[in-house]
Amino acid sequence: MSRLITICVALSTALSVLGEVPSAQAFTPRPVDQLIKEARSATPPQWGQTKRKPDLVDITTLDPTLRLDIRYASKDNFLHAPVYSAAKAFLQRPVAQALVRVNRALLRSGFALRIHDAYRPWWVTKVFWEATPPANHDYVADPAKGSVHNRGCAVDLDLVRLSDGAAAAMPSDYDEMSPRSHADYADGPAEARRNRDLLRASMEVEGFKVLKEEWWHFDYATSADYPNMNLPFEAIVGKPAELAAAGQILLVTTPDWDNPKGWLQRFELQKGVFVPVGTRLPVWIGGKGMAWRSDEGAPPPPVQGPVKREGDGRSPAGILTFGGMWGYAPKAPEGVRLPYTTATKCDRCVDDPDDADYAKLVHLDSPDAPRTWRSAEHLLMETDHYRYMVVIHYNDLKPHKNAGSCIFFHVSPPPGGGTAGCTALAAEDLLTVLRWMDPAQHPALVQIPERLLDIARAAWSLPAELHPPTP
């Protein structure tokens, strides 16, 4: 790990090299599981705006020949406990691409790269800081400032020989705290220094800079352009199925979690790129704002936030798809291609979490037929809210109790108001959008507070072209 001493297993060695450090001797680390629990629930500091948007990728998807030896996914580390949920290495895409070029160049010299650490969530940095004696905090990243690892722009690595796959000799072990770990250490076996210098020279060609205290740690030239992040490994996934199939995307953004009003921008896939369609449209969501999806198949939330629950007055944040259209007229409005059903007094959407039909659309034999639920929405209302209405697939395919129900795309409420959890537009704006939506293009709905869009982009592989609408 970058700038981290092997406190527990190598303390006696460190003291013999650096001299007595009384405060470090007196330091008693707290249990690792306690440190991890506290760090995972902690809120990172607020950092300023950065120039580039996150785009973390699994480096082995770009070059399968890259070797991984991720120590913090095992017990083979100074904590003697796994910290990462998987033995994976993620970097910002340009950094990963540069690393691939380094590896390909080294292959011609009979070596290959072996990765020990790359992107590191902020909470892990906090764990390392708390586990380190204060006298040795110079050797770990301060979580108040974040680290280049948190930006996805630092990598710890060494070399392996292609001839036998064995690790190439280096002046010190990975993560060893001693003068041998310094990038300019001039003693030790000549072969080890040659391997270290080959690694450094190869990395510098592609824009990496070595950390002077650690021959294995390299920062990329544009690291300051990226934000510190706290995405868990499990949240860095490939493109969700909803996006993989989508040729149209409706992006709904709001100023923050609790704001009921925002903007909708349409995007359409043209020659492999999503391009904006039309102007931005005012949109209303839940009267209490948004909350992360909590239903079956929801992408993992990339950061903490409110979680969608039945009756909370919030709209689901995440990636969603659409079902069929309902309305009061005998047939769909001209130009609308979505499958259409005329609503009657017998049609309901059940929002009683204890009922067997929770979150489902049901058709009664008659308006006064017996029912088992305590509560259900009428699809034929006395108001115009459902005059044009499209089902948003949220918790309706495999309903989870109390996750929320009956989420629709419909006509907006009175000006200044919010919905019960749906997404709504003015009638004419809604018709414009509905005539544009093409079922063959599998339209997807992305709803997110605007300030979290870049974080969600990195976590869910959202298209780089998706940006909040401008006036």
On whether both 249 and 185 belong to a single domain, the answer is: no
Segment 263-284 shows an average pLDDT of 93
The reply to whether 468 falls in a domain is: no
The reply to whether 298 falls in a domain is: yes
Q: Of 176, 197, 225, at which residue does a domain stop?
A: 225
Q: What is the pLDDT of residues 294-345, one digit of tens each?
A: 998 787 788 889 999 999 999 999 999 999 999 999 999 999 999 999 999 9
pLDDT band per the 50, 70, 90 thresholds, residue 2: very low
Q: Which sign, positive or negative, has the C-alpha torsion 425, 427, 430, 432? A: negative
Q: What is the pLDDT of residues 32-56, one digit of tens each?
A: 999 999 998 898 988 877 778 788 8
The reply to whether 412 falls in a domain is: yes
On whether both 181 and 264 belong to a single domain, the answer is: no
pLDDT at 18: 39
What average pLDDT is seen over the chain? Answer: 89
Segment 394-405 shows an average pLDDT of 94
Give the residue numbers spanning the domain of 315.
Answer: 237-460
The reply to whether 467 falls in a domain is: no
In total, how many domains does the chain have?
A: 2
Burial class (CB in 10 A: 0-12, 13-18, 19+), 441: middle
On whether both 196 and 331 belong to a single domain, the answer is: no
On whether both 65 and 85 belong to a single domain, the answer is: yes
The reply to whether 403 falls in a domain is: yes
pLDDT at 135: 81
On whether both 397 and 451 belong to a single domain, the answer is: yes
The larger pLDDT score, comparing residue 457 to residue 89, is at: 89
Q: Of 225, 246, 280, at which residue does a domain stop?
A: 225
What do you get for the CA distance between the two ends of the chain, in Å?
Answer: 45
pLDDT band per the 50, 70, 90 thresholds, residue 68: very high
Q: What is the pLDDT of residues 90-130, one digit of tens each?
A: 999 899 999 999 999 999 999 999 999 999 999 999 999 99
On whether both 367 and 307 belong to a single domain, the answer is: yes
On whether both 183 and 36 belong to a single domain, the answer is: yes
Query: In CATH, what number is assigned to the domain containing residue 21?
Result: 3.30.1380.10
Report how far residue 422's alpha carbon sits from residue 412's, in angstroms, rounded to the nearest whole number. 9
pLDDT at 237: 60
Q: Which sign, positive or negative, has the C-alpha torsion 365, 369, 370, 375? A: positive
The reply to whether 400 falls in a domain is: yes
pLDDT band per the 50, 70, 90 thresholds, residue 241: low
pTM (global) more than 0.85: no
On whether both 169 and 255 belong to a single domain, the answer is: no
On whether both 151 and 273 belong to a single domain, the answer is: no
The reply to whether 230 falls in a domain is: no
On whether both 44 and 96 belong to a single domain, the answer is: yes
The reply to whether 3 falls in a domain is: no
Q: Of 225, 249, 283, at which residue does a domain stop?
A: 225
On whether both 266 and 299 belong to a single domain, the answer is: yes
Decide if pLDDT at 360 tops 50.
yes
Decide if pLDDT at 463 tops 90.
no
On whether both 193 and 297 belong to a single domain, the answer is: no
